[in-house]
């Protein structure tokens, strides 16, 4: 079932880029930007991550924690973070368990072919763990403005 604005955000247990356990509930009391993206080091995903990086101080001042999530491995996340100097954690979800909770693992079409993949979506979650916004038409180069 697709999460909706006003509903509690599904909690999850996953690994960050260091292989450390990370849950959504550990950020209760803070606002969370949970953004799902298709793949590290691709042009759109890099533009989105760098936009969040470039506006990270503003997001912190507004009380946000930023968490990116894709099906990439922890090692690939480490390389993506290092190459782009990202100041936030990336979650590795190779089995797309968290994607399934948020209904972001869906059938996609590209050049006449159908495949399962990540639908780029951002969930803005309030201090109580409730979804306050869902951004489905992400502007990768201006994503922070869409959030705030």
CATH of domain 13-147: 3.40.30.10
CA-CA distance, 41 to 20, in Å (whole number)? Answer: 22
Whole-number pLDDT of residue 110: 84
CA 104 to chain centre: 10
For the question of residue 50 being annotated catalytic, the response is no
Reading the chain (148 residues) residue by residue, the pLDDT tens digits are 789 999 999 999 999 999 999 999 999 999 999 999 999 999 999 999 999 999 999 999 999 999 999 999 999 999 999 999 999 999 999 999 999 999 999 999 888 999 999 999 999 999 999 999 999 999 999 999 999 9
Contacts of 36 (CB under 8 A, 6+ apart): 69, 70, 99, 102, 104, 118, 119, 120, 121, 122, 123
Given the residues 33, 45, 69, 131, select the one marked as catalytic: 45
């Amino acid at each position: 079932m697709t999460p909706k604005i006003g509903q509690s955000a599904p909690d999850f247990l996953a690994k960050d880029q260091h292989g450390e356990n990370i849950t959504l509930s550990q950020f209760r009391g803070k606002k969370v930007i949970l953004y799902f993206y298709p793949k590290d080091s691709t042009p759109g995903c890099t533009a989105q991550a760098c936009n969040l990086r470039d506006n990270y101080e503003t997001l912190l001042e507004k009380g946000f924690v930023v968490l990116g999530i894709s099906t990439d491995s922890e090692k690939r996340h480490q390389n993506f973070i290092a190459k782009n100097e990202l100041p936030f954690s990336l979650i590795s979800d190779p089995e797309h368990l968290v994607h399934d909770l948020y209904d972001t693992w869906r059938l996609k079409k590209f050049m006449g072919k159908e495949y399962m993949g990540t639908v780029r979506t951002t969930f803005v979650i309030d201090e109580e763990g409730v979804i306050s916004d869902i951004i489905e038409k992400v502007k990768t180069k201006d994503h922070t403005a869409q959030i705030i």
